[in-house]
Amino acid sequence: MKFGWFPQSAAEGVARFVFDFAIPALLFRAMANANVFSNPPWELWLAFFPAALAIYGIGMVIALSVFKRDFEGAAITGMGACYGNTVLLGIPINLLVLGDAGALPSFLIISIHSLILMSSATVLLESGRADGRGPLATAMEVLKGMGTNPVVLGLGAGLAWNASGLSIPSMADQVLTFMKGAVIPCSLFALGATLARYGIKGRIAQSIVVSILKLIVMPAFVWVLAAHVLHLDPVWTIAVVLMAAQPAGINMFLFANRYGTAEAIASTTIFVTTLASMVVLPVLIYLLSSAGTSL
């Protein structure tokens, strides 16, 4: 895109295909076939989300006390420290590293990832606006955002199909399986387009701190919970730690842009964490393997 070989609109189309169609189709198939209702994955969720929310809080405190950001800017900073690119990058990496065994834990994390973290960000940002909105209006804004998110819709439809007890028709299942093959290459292309679009916009020091929280502190926290507190299955431990180590997600910039705050830190953090993850993730995979987990 930098050289004009591929227009920005086309790159956005690829990203939209992945987010609006390929990933939701993959999530629908996985959740429709998963054994979720009889055995909810509480331990998997407890290994990830308490750590994510704690890192969110730490990121906000650092932004407020060290970098003297206002409340809304701190909310965006905290979001960048815990909200990873779990869809466009997390799923492909877990599928590459763990094969099909990495699919279910990834989807189970994603099933409530946006619900918890985007809801938290929305509540914090809306409360920081001080525009007179009450808690009911804020809650409706959160529900509206969740209800129009293709990933959430794919997960919800899959869970509904699962609850019905029906099996996916053979032809439909073949189409969904075919869509799976597009996820990894298209996701990586969309990721490259993201790097080309956002880049470094300033706030370098703050971005480095957020990057350390996102790529090192959060996965370490999750690893302690998963491996030493909750004693998850080794494959699920790898999956949840790798999901925790994903670079900052594009939603950080989208929220910053929407609320008109911290756009520079959001753009720089996405760029820095994505580049740094190319080193951090292979090292992390090696360390997890060396710790005795068989990939």
- What does the alpha-carbon distance between residue 84 and residue 146 come to, in Å, rounded to a whole number? 17
The SS3 assignment for 248 reads strand
- What does the alpha-carbon distance between residue 39 and residue 63 come to, in Å, rounded to a whole number? 39
Domain segments of the chain as ranges: 8-290
φ, ψ of residue 202 to 5 degrees: the values are 120, -175
Tokens linked to 125 = 């940002």
The SS3 assignment for 262 reads coil
The yes-or-no verdict on residue 294 having pLDDT over 50 is no
Tokens linked to 78 = 């905290």
Instruction: Indicate if the alpha-carbon torsion angle 265, 268, 271, 274 is positive or negative.
Output: negative
CATH number assigned to the domain with residue range 8-290, chosen from the 4 options 3.10.50.40, 1.10.287.130, 3.40.50.10880, 1.20.1530.20:
1.20.1530.20
The SS3 assignment for 69 reads coil
Return the axis-axis angle of helices 103-129 and 23-33, rounded to nearest 10°.
120
The SS3 assignment for 84 reads strand
Question: In this predicted model, what pLDDT tens digit does every residue of 18-70 receive, in sequence order?
Answer: 777 887 887 788 778 777 666 778 999 999 999 999 999 999 999 999 999 98
The residue whose two tokens read 């492909």 is 92
The residue whose two tokens read 């302690």 is 224
- What does the alpha-carbon distance between residue 80 and residue 60 come to, in Å, rounded to a whole number? 10
Q: What percent of the chain has pLDDT over 70?
A: 82
How large is the greatest C-alpha to C-alpha distance in the chain, in angstroms? 57
Q: Give the pLDDT score at 295.
A: 47
Evaluate if pTM is beyond 0.85.
no
Residue count (the chain): 295
- What does the alpha-carbon distance between residue 190 and residue 182 come to, in Å, rounded to a whole number? 12
Question: In this predicted model, what pLDDT tens digit does every residue of 75-132 receive, in sequence order?
Answer: 999 999 999 999 878 988 999 999 888 888 998 898 788 768 877 887 787 776 655 5
